[in-house]
Each structure stands twice: as C-alpha cells, then as structure tokens.
Amino acid sequence: MTRPGRCGWCGTDPLYVAYHDTEWGVPERCGRALWEKLILDGFQAGLSWITILRKREAFRVAFEGFDPGVIAHWGEAEVMRLLADPGIVRHRGKIEATITNARALLEMGGPEAFADLMWGHVGGGPVQNRWASDADVPAFTPLSERVSKDLKRKGFRFCGPTITYAWMQATGLVNDHVTTCFRHADLA
C-alpha cells in the first residue's frame, strides 16, 4: 500500500524512511560517492536494499572508505579478511568484483572521470520521470542497458541493467520518485 505523500517502497522502517526522504534520488556529483553506491548496489543483488543500508557503515569501514586507490591494490589476503567480516555481505564474487571495479575506475581516469561519464549519459542533469505508482516504475530501461554495457566495456562487474538502474535511481541520475511523493517535486 502506498503511503500518502511518499513512495510506497520505503515502508515505515525509520532507517528506510530517512534514506528515502534525504538520500534516494538526490543527484550525486561526487565520483567517489557514485562509485561507492554502485558497489553497494552490486552487493544488494539478490537481497533487499534495507539489508545493505543496515550494513552500510560496516561496509565503509571494511572497504576503507571505498577508496579505489587502496582497494585496487588488494589481493587474496583482503578477500579472505572480508569473507570473515560478519558486518558485511560475505560473497566472494561481489568482493572480487569490487577490487576489479576499483582497478577499472582508476584505469578510466578516477572518480571524477567516472562521474563525468555517468552524468554524460543523462545529458548532465537528472532524467525526470513521471510515474503514477511504484508499479509503473520499470526494473531497467534502455538507458540503464546502455550504461551497463558502457561500464562492462570499461571492465566493471556486477553492473547489469537492473543493478545499474537501481543505482541510477538512488544517485539521482533519474528522478523515479512517484508523482504523488513529496520528493518528486523537490527533485524535479
């Protein structure tokens, strides 16, 4: 059931409501923050976002503030350390993808080059969608398919069209707050 004035997906959990009201869909321009959120969306695959949200601070500690310059140099010892960390999602493929993605990010020129490329996909400003209900919001779009392909060409992993679209929504590359949500107008 959609709560009046807010997207229905966030429910009533105070952490989720605060995330919806203050972060989700806000245009993120910082390349490092964009990259962190892409990594966390990759970890979310197969899980609920609230699971990742509850573990986000532990992820930040475990992944040293999501500093790609540090993570790019990690190897098997760090993978094993992370697999033993109960504060994060312990999935070898996702951990290894994070290291691969840090290397790919640096290879493409670093966080700000990443931000420039991603914002270039949307013409520099958020795509303004006008969904009437949560049921109208797609899981992925032709745009997220193009962005996903671009990321994969650059060496990124765990960035399929669905993960990429969720990330684009979260980082404000697209405004997917439903039109009855107070945040839709705020971010338009």
| pLDDT, tens only, 149-163 | 999 999 999 999 999
φ, ψ (nearest 5 deg) of residue 8:
-70, -25
Q: What is the mean pLDDT of the chain?
A: 96
Amino acid at 174: V
Contact 176, 169 (CB under 8 A): yes
In three-state secondary structure terms, 127 is strand
Q: What's residue 2's pLDDT? A: 43
The answer on pLDDT for 125 being more than 70 is yes
pTM: 0.95
Are the CB atoms for 64 and 144 separated by under 8 Å? no
Band the pLDDT of 3: cuts 50, 70, 90: very low
Q: What is the mean pLDDT of residues 104-117?
A: 98
Q: Residues 96-109: pLDDT tens digits?
A: 999 999 999 999 99
Is the model's pLDDT at 1 over the cut of 90? no
Write down the pLDDT at residue 4: 56
Is the pLDDT higher at 187 or at 4?
Answer: 187
